Structure 1
Amino acid sequence: MSDPALDALFLPFEQRLLPWPSEGALFLRARAGVATTGGRWPGLLCAQSFAPAHAELQRAGFETLPVDPEDALPQRLLVLVLPPRQRDEARAELARALQATAPGGWVVASVANDEGAKSSQDDLARLAGNIAVQSKHKCRVFWAQRDDRADTALLARWAALDAPRAILGGRFVSRPGVFAWDRIDPASALLAAQLPDTLSGHVADLGAGYGFLSAELLQRCAGIRALDVVEAEGRALALARRNLTGLRDDVTLDFQWADVTRGLSRRYDAIVSNPPFHAQGRSERPDIGRAFIAAAAGALKPGGQLWLVANRHLPYEEILGARFAQVREVAAMAGFKIVHAEQPR
């Protein structure tokens, strides 16, 4: 697939505007793609907290860092970064990239024009005190040197923007960039209101985010004995672990950093899910939700049940009918639908 920001990121090296260090480079929010094929960039050490992208990097043969958002980063003379869309999260990532750059080294970033390229360029200039830029592929690639012009106080403040903090009166901790990070997503709230308190046995929450639906299950369903919290974004899963551990001493919790679309390895009595319908871009991806439904059907016990919330326009009815003997729409409100499916085929 086309990845213009990734292609633009390597322009300064392809055009020999910057040297490629013999020790390689640290690559934050790394993605595999055409620009990284062929072994042209030896020694690339990749950090990626999104499980599908992390697995793709490993399949492509790149060395990857363990996923722990609290871990300190190794220093390199060159640090590459693909900043995310959310402003505070992007500023934190640029600050971390510059902090991980050895003195005299370079940090290089690339952002699509319609994803906030000019703002990110200005942010790096504020941090580093110097900037160079090129434009191509409807993106900006910009770079700065780590030297005594860096604003160390601003670096520290912006690096802390990604720190977990209390939300919703202290009920949860969350961080910028996580889905619905500072609120309860209305679709999840609608699903929680419809869930019966009779769910029991071994249950899974697919695409759990920072843990809202899992917390509702633990607090309302006394018959649950084990709960698998499955989430592809490692930054969100770390929050879910903090938010859920200790809520129920009689429930076995398992936190799984996993790509649900590749299937599940266990069998469940019930599954709940507010599946994503975007990947790492803005375009709708109903195939992700369909893959969640297929994975749930394949993992449920013969008498198991799925509780799902989705935007009303998303085309899930065909796969629900193909994979479950009984499907009913329980509620529809504010553009969302709640589906209860039983008897997986």
Structure 2
Amino acid sequence: MSGPRDTDAALETLFHPFATGALAWPREGGALFLRARDGWPLHARPLPGLVAEQSYKPAFDALQRSGITTHGDDVEGTFPLVLVLPPRQREEARALFARALMHAGPSGVVVACMPNDEGAKTGQADLARLAGQVNVLSKSHCRVFWTGARSTDLALLEEWRVLDAPRFVAGDTLLSRPGVFAWDRVDKASALLMQHLPTDLAGEGADLGAGIGVLAMDVLARCKHVQAIDLYEAEGRALALARQNLTGRANVGFHWHDVTQGLSKQYDFIVMNPPFHAQSRADRPDLGRRFIEVAAQALRARGRLIMVANRHLPYEAILGERFAQVRVLADEGGFKVLEGVRA
């Protein structure tokens, strides 16, 4: 129950009203925690009936390891208390506020917390627009706010609950939704990789951190000797979209998986646009390095890694350690496309 999440200021502030006595945990009926994360506040006192929902696999796994009942997708039913850690993306956050109020029923309390520099004031105003006046406390550069006597704007609730619904983007070629990475476009890094993708990739491959399936779709369209490709993605909402974008392809596998934990299969090639953020704004080059390590371990002899990254991220050293041959396929627009070949 200890680790890096013990310094999660938003999670700690979310439970501040309960620590001060401003709010009481429900005596019955339990509570739903949307976008839940594990940390010491969930274990500092009994929280009977707590149910968590989290679509991001590393956070989901951490909650389950702590013994918390956790679901990866939409939980059903109403609860007297709904806790929320809203995302930064505003349409997704507004849809989440609407869902929280629906799960709280006519009399339940919705409690949300956001860091001040990630839209706390805006989030507070949005919840107030939906539910009426809210109560507020501040702590650790975060703001926790919760509903009081409810005066829900039902028309606005109906409008906001579908703000993050899946829709076609990028010239109606991709199904996406607010909140997933680069949701309304093909991001520049992936576009550069696709521009310089070797067309002689063959055999069995994988896309690590596959998102909504953009790279995998391009590989299958351009590399005629690819027999199969597996998509690995930690964000369940993105993977569900990838399934639809690649529907009908018998040679595609989908894995809701934390790549940093390693892979259980071997491949002839791997493509990836690895993440360099987790669930915060801070750069995490260690994630990209770990993706490279996992890719090297999962590639067969002479297997190839084709990846793209921000130019400033220092990946060449670990590529040199893990691969017999490394070369730069492209370096432009602030991004670089790199190839590594196993011995």
Task: Normalising by structure 2, report the TM-score.
Answer: 0.96
Matching of residue 99 in structure 1 with residue 105 in structure 2: no
Deviation >3 Å, runs of 4+: none
- Give a deviation string over 1:291-338, Cα, whole Å, max 9, x none: 000000000011210001011111111211111111111110111111
Matched residue SS, 2:162:
helix
1:1-345 alignment runs, 5 A limit: 1=4, 2-22=7-27, 23-65=29-71, 67-68=72-73, 71=74, 73-145=76-148, 147=150, 149-246=151-248, 248=249, 251-343=250-342
Q: 1:78 and 1:146 mapped to 2: Cα distance?
A: 14
Q: 1:145 and 1:50 mapped to 2: Cα distance?
A: 30
Q: Is the 8 A contact 2:178 2:184 kept in 1?
A: yes
Question: Root-mean-square deviation (CA), in Å?
Answer: 1.2
Q: Is the 8 A contact 2:98 2:157 kept in 1?
A: yes
- Tell me by how many angstroms 1:103 deviates: 2.3
Q: Is the 8 A contact 1:105 1:145 kept in 2?
A: no
Q: Is the 8 A contact 2:53 2:75 kept in 1?
A: no
- Tell me by how many angstroms 1:234 deviates: 0.5
- Tell me by how many angstroms 1:72 deviates: 5.2
Percent of matched pairs sharing the same residue: 57
- Give a deviation string over 1:55-114, Cα, whole Å, max 9, x none: 11111111101x23xx45321000000000011111111111111103211000000100
Q: Is the 8 A contact 1:105 1:146 kept in 2?
A: no
Q: 2:262 and 2:149 mapped to 1: Cα distance?
A: 44
Q: Is the 8 A contact 1:107 1:146 kept in 2?
A: no
How many residues align? The count is 337
- Tell me by how many angstroms 1:35 deviates: 1.4
- Tell me by how many angstroms 1:24 deviates: 2.1
- Tell me by how many angstroms 1:194 deviates: 1.1
Distance 1:146 1:100, change over 3 A: farther
Q: Answer with 25-34 or 251-260: which moved more.
A: 251-260
- Tell me by how many angstroms 1:255 deviates: 0.6
- Tell me by how many angstroms 1:207 deviates: 0.6
- Give a deviation string over 1:19-76, Cα, whole Å, max 9, x none: 21133210000001121124532221000000001111111111101x23xx453210
Q: 1:86 and 1:10 mapped to 2: Cα distance?
A: 23
Q: 2:44 and 2:239 mapped to 1: Cα distance?
A: 33
Q: 2:295 and 2:241 mapped to 1: Cα distance?
A: 23
Q: Which runs of 5+ in 1 are unaligned?
A: none
Q: 2:23 and 2:198 mapped to 1: Cα distance?
A: 59
- Tell me by how many angstroms 1:201 deviates: 1.2
Distance 1:36 1:192, change over 3 A: same
Which amino acid counterpart does residue 17 of structure 2 have in structure 1? P
Q: Is the 8 A contact 1:106 1:146 kept in 2?
A: no
Q: Is the 8 A contact 1:77 1:103 kept in 2?
A: no
- Tell me by how many angstroms 1:227 deviates: 1.0
Q: 1:318 and 1:197 mapped to 2: Cα distance?
A: 26
Q: 2:149 and 2:77 mapped to 1: Cα distance?
A: 15
